[in-house]
Amino acid sequence: MTRHLPALIIVIPLLAALFTAGSGWINSKAPFRIAVAALFFSFVCAVLMLIQVVTTGIAMEYRMAGWAGPMGIVYVIDHLSAIVLVVITAVSTLNLVAQKKNIDAEFNDKEGAFNALYVLFTAGLIGMTATGDAFNLYVLLEIVSLSGYALIGLGSRRAPLATLNYLFLGTIGATFYLLGVGYLYIATGTLNMAELATIIPQNMESGVILFAFIICLTGLFVKMAMFPVHGWLPEAYSQATSVSTGLIAPLTTKVTVYIMIRICMTVFTPEYTFGHLDISGFIVLLAIVTIVFGSLSALAQTNVKRMLSYIIIAEVGYMVGGFFLGNRLGISGAILHIINDAAMTLALFLAAGIFIWKTGGESRSDLKGLFAKMPFTMAGFVLAGLSVVGVPPTCGFFSKWYLISGGIQAGNTLFVAALIFSSLVNAVLFFRLFEIAYFEPFADADSHGSNHGSHTHGGALAIKEAPLDMLIPFLIASITLIVLGLYSGTIVTNIIQFAIPTGVI
Amino acid sequence: MRDSDMESIFALVLAKANYVVYIILMMVGLYAMIVKNNLIKKIVGMSIFQTAIILFYVSIGCKRGATIPILVHHASPEAAAHGAEKIAAHAMEAVDVAHYINPLPHVLMLTAIVVGVATLGVALALAIKVYNTYGTVEEDEINQQLRSG
């Protein structure tokens, strides 16, 4: 049974996606139940695999259909992919459960299609994380992208246009990655990541491999919204429905960063990425620009979802910059931040989902007086906000600590300055929201009703605490932020430390 | 530039014609995606862009003078009638890789073509939704509508 976990974790959601699509016609409640069951099953698989990998210390390798090594496709679960799998499945399950009411409101009688896309998206992410084959990664990347386009396109009136622009850039990104894989295949004659890693160090001088590296990385940068190619993200994320953003925002960029780390460390090996090539400095600089740009743009937004989208761009800069510092502290910080940022973004977007469901508005001013009305939700939101700012003991502090230490060790003052600057901007952003929610009086019923009357559930005066089935998953997500913070030392020493090749100092 | 230089450049381009063609196609697609104002033309550009990569993959599997990678023995019908021993003997013969083109890139592209078709489908569906919302697929007209509220 344990032997087959790496296959089951992806096969079950894939099959479930198939059944969910059809089950909507039979019973309107069935798609949601099948989706939750499949995702929870994947979560259990991921936790079991993480426990096994941590206790044995050996990576699990699964040969699809029994075909070994370079001939067949292998799925490899090592420390890094195991922890990312747990994050993906946990975020996906929690978000689906928490936003049940939003799904009912926004996807009335489209539950089958929506839940199928949702599960398919998660299955693609799981596959991307677990696969040990460079081309298989491309196929799964496109599964994730296509279901992601559909999920975002189902959003507001402006969503289809935003999605189409995302689709153009996303296709360029994925196709660049495919081109890079093609050149890697020309140079090495294999697509298996483990075999690539043994061949590439023997051909460090090859121009074909250099071209493959650059073109793969460019493709991934487009996918993760690095500075010059970030334009698609804020529009797409802010036009999507809350449940879609709650899934896509915490996971897509983070998993793409994971893929970048996987490609740079496992395929091209650190000796090539950091030792042989002299591009780390440039990429860190690009990351710094991304951080500063993301933070400043977030400052200019009045729409809460848009503001959070720009914060995501800044966070991508944290992780990419931290990784390309090229030292152990920086890479640990980047990997830890993948986990923490997924949790923080989930909590923030769940909070946004509750606000939108309750008030019907997405603007900053819609938060007026909400502290008094929904104390538990706001407490969770404050926790998530403090974590993004980086206040101990929330998890955001610890990953930032590693990133800053990495920056100091690498002697990159600019990166450290950008991180501190971004934290200050985040503090301004979130305290402004807290102030509006805490001190400003609650908007009166008339103006509220006339603005968004059709969306408001139960009328403005009746606004009180969110219903329990939304509140409990949200509070779990926000308490996780503290738990992750308190156990960040354990995570680093037991998992992340083994995820980084010993060659990296 | 001397004539011999021109000749060597010409020879290089001719020898690497597949790369030249794929890059030209790719740039045509990219140009359409970035510059064109009409969303449908952009989608067509995206399709050209993806097709360029497919042609690139297909071309790298080819070899001069090689045949399709199906193990056909030059056995006449009588030879086949001789029975299993003969076929087994043929199968034992070492396969000379140089005689066959590499099938792997072609197989990979079957998947990539499916992905390309799916992307095209999603893009066209979105374009229909955009058209239903704004009544046009020209980007500048849509932007004008968005600005005017």
What pLDDT is recorded for position A68? Answer: 81
Which residue range forms the structural domain that includes residue B32?
Answer: 2-63+101-148
The total of structural domains in chain B comes to 1
What pLDDT is recorded for position A463? Answer: 64
Residue B95 lies in a domain: no
CA-based nearest distance A412→chain B, Å: 36
Residue of B nearest to A140 (CA): B115
Mean pLDDT over the full length of chain B: 83
Does residue A157 sit at the B interface (CB-CB below 8 Å)? yes
Note whether A168 contacts B122, CB cutoff 8 Å.
no
Residue A316, SS3 per DSSP: helix
- Tell whether the torsion through CA atoms of A473, A475, A477 and A480 is positive or negative: negative
pTM, 2 dp: 0.91
What pLDDT is recorded for position A450? Answer: 40
Across residues A179-198, what is the average pLDDT? 92
Across residues A98-126, what is the average pLDDT? 89
Chain A interface mutation, best of B130, B136, B137, highest count of A Cβ atoms under 10 Å: B130
Q: Residue A499 belongs to what H/E stretch? A: helix A497-499
Does residue A178 sit at the B interface (CB-CB below 8 Å)? yes
Least confident of A155-164, A285-294, A420-429, B39-48: A155-164
Residue of B nearest to A141 (CA): B115
Specify whether the CB–CB gap between B69 and B102 falls below 8 A: yes
Of A164, A182, A186, the CB nearest to B127: A164
Parallel/antiparallel/unpaired status of strands A74-77 and A60-63: antiparallel
B72-90 CB burial, b ≥16 within 10 A, e <16: eeeeeeeeeeeeeeeeeee
CATH number at residue B106: 1.10.287.3510
Confidence tier at B77 by pLDDT (50, 70, 90): low
Does ipTM surpass 0.95 in this model? no
Show residues of chain B in contact with A163, CB under 8 Å.
126
Residue B43 lies in a domain: yes
What pLDDT is recorded for position A227? Answer: 85
CA-based nearest distance B72→chain A, Å: 22
Of B60, B118, B146, the CB nearest to A146: B118
Concatenated DSSP letters of B52-64: HHHHHHHHHT--T
Which is nearest to A163 in space by CA: A150, A174, A175, A147? A150
Note whether A164 contacts B56, CB cutoff 8 Å.
no
Residue B56 lies in a domain: yes
Specify whether the CB–CB gap between B46 and A168 falls below 8 A: yes
- The residue type found at A471 is L
Q: In chain A, what are the domain boundaries?
A: 279-444+459-505
Chain A interface mutation, best of B33, B47, B126, highest count of A Cβ atoms under 10 Å: B126
Residue B92 lies in a domain: no
What pLDDT is recorded for position A455? Answer: 47
CA-based nearest distance A253→chain B, Å: 20
Across residues A473-492, what is the average pLDDT? 92
Across residues A236-243, what is the average pLDDT? 89
Residue B81 lies in a domain: no
What pLDDT is recorded for position A460? Answer: 47
For chain A, what is the total number of helices (H) and then of strands (E)?
A: 23, 2
Largest CA distance in chain B: 83
Of B46, B53, B60, the CB nearest to A186: B60
pLDDT tens string A54-85? 999 888 889 988 888 788 899 999 999 999 99
Q: Residue A58 belongs to what H/E stretch? A: none
Across residues A151-156, what is the average pLDDT? 88
Q: Sort B65 into a burial class: Cβ within 10 Å, 0-12 / 13-18 / 19+.
A: exposed
Specify whether the CB–CB gap between A485 and A398 falls below 8 A: yes
Note whether A153 contacts B130, CB cutoff 8 Å.
no
What pLDDT is recorded for position A392? Answer: 85
pLDDT tens string A322-344? 999 989 999 999 999 999 999 99
Does residue B87 sit at the A interface (CB-CB below 8 Å)? no
- The rounded distance, in Å, linking the Cα atoms of A482 and A477 is 10
B96-123 CB burial, b ≥16 within 10 A, e <16: eeeebbbebbbebbeebeebbeebbebb
What pLDDT is recorded for position B6? Answer: 80
- The rounded distance, in Å, linking the Cα atoms of A357 and A361 is 8
Q: What contacts A290, CB < 8 A, 6 or more positions away?
A: A226, A227, A230, A313, A314, A316, A317, A320, A321
What pLDDT is recorded for position A446? Answer: 43
Q: Kindly tell me if the per-residue pLDDT of A195 is higher than 50.
A: yes
CA-based nearest distance A143→chain B, Å: 8
What pLDDT is recorded for position B85? Answer: 56
Note whether A182 contacts B60, CB cutoff 8 Å.
yes
Which is nearest to A5 in space by CA: A89, A69, A106, A98? A89
Note whether A161 contacts B133, CB cutoff 8 Å.
yes
Residue B24 lies in a domain: yes
Torsions phi, psi for B36 (to 5 deg) = -65, 150
Residue B72 lies in a domain: no
Chain B interface mutation, best of A144, A167, A208, A239, highest count of B Cβ atoms under 10 Å: A167
Specify whether the CB–CB gap between A359 and A435 falls below 8 A: no
